[in-house]
Chain A
Amino acid sequence: MLNGEKSVRQKFSGDNMIVVIPPEYADVVAKLHDPSKRFFHIKNCGDHFEMEVKTSLSFNRVALGLTRKRLGSFFSDIKVVGGVKKKSREHIIFEPKRPLTVTIRFSNTELSLIKEAARKNAVTLSDFIRSCVLDKVFAPEGGGAT
């Protein structure tokens, strides 16, 4: 178990997703930047870094200044509590566990419009709805259109 992962698991309340990053990636941590702390914030815990993430996030290899090989090592070495990590060729994606179900009612025509928009964006209905809502929630003006 990675340094810090045990303590994170012990204090983890099952709520926010926490990414535990080993200290040798301090240069990468320096490039993970969210001044507004809307999406995540990073704590230096001495022997590791903890990134508390509020929703799903994706980081690009080039933006982090990583080679493909080091992206692979970074991906293997980080641990995620309260969520999952995924890797594509150029990205690392963090997704929180989503145990809560929200049910919304729609009319036939509203649903047809939503299905069409989801199809055009090549995403599932759930992903489309979640992204529409969370994009607006995280919009800089605090809820304005995205």
Chain B
Amino acid sequence: MKITDIAEEGFLKVSFPKKYVAVLKAFRERGFPIYDEGDFYSVLSPTSYAISSTQAGLSPSEFLEFYKALKVLNGFKKLEEENRIIHFRPKRPLKLSFKVSAPERRLIEFAARQHLLDVSDYIRMCVIDNAIEAFITASKQKETGLV
């Protein structure tokens, strides 16, 4: 099972010129699908992620050039941590609500503060980590014929 089986469209798509071929390794390690599109490579991701200059194997000035050359579809790019990290974030047009008790909300707010995140980012991190883990487990089970 591939990540592209989950949804047909709406993926966060990052494209960059082929001269940055060395950077592909950093994307490949995350298991994202990579496509060769003429002069560009394109990488699809279902959710937000970040890449550092160290992971990309680029010097600070090359990393800045790489950032400028990046094209992002269905999302945004942002330079952070004194230009050492590029953060990719998908557009999030869908709202989902769930109910909690007052003590549960206080606990969630406390845990989010411990992680230096706002409540939305903390909840998203918990849920998406779990969903991706479930997806990877299901994929492995399919590969090994367990399901």
Contact = CB atoms under 8 A, between A and B. Distances in A.
Chain B residues touching A, range: 35 or more
A111 B93 CA distance: 10
Contact of A107 (B90, B100, B107, B122): B90
A56 to B, nearest CB: 9
Contacts of A116: 6, 131, 134-135, 138
Given A96-B104, A98-B100, A103-B97, A121 B92 contact: no
B10 A107 contact: yes
Given A98-B104, A120-B138, A108 B94 contact: yes
Interface in A115-146: 116-117, 120-121, 125-126, 128-130, 132-138, 142-143, 145
A107 B134 CA distance: 18
A132 B114 CA distance: 17
Interface of B: 6-7, 9-12, 46-47, 74-75, 90-105, 107-108, 110-111, 114-115, 119-120, 122-124, 126-132, 134-135, 138
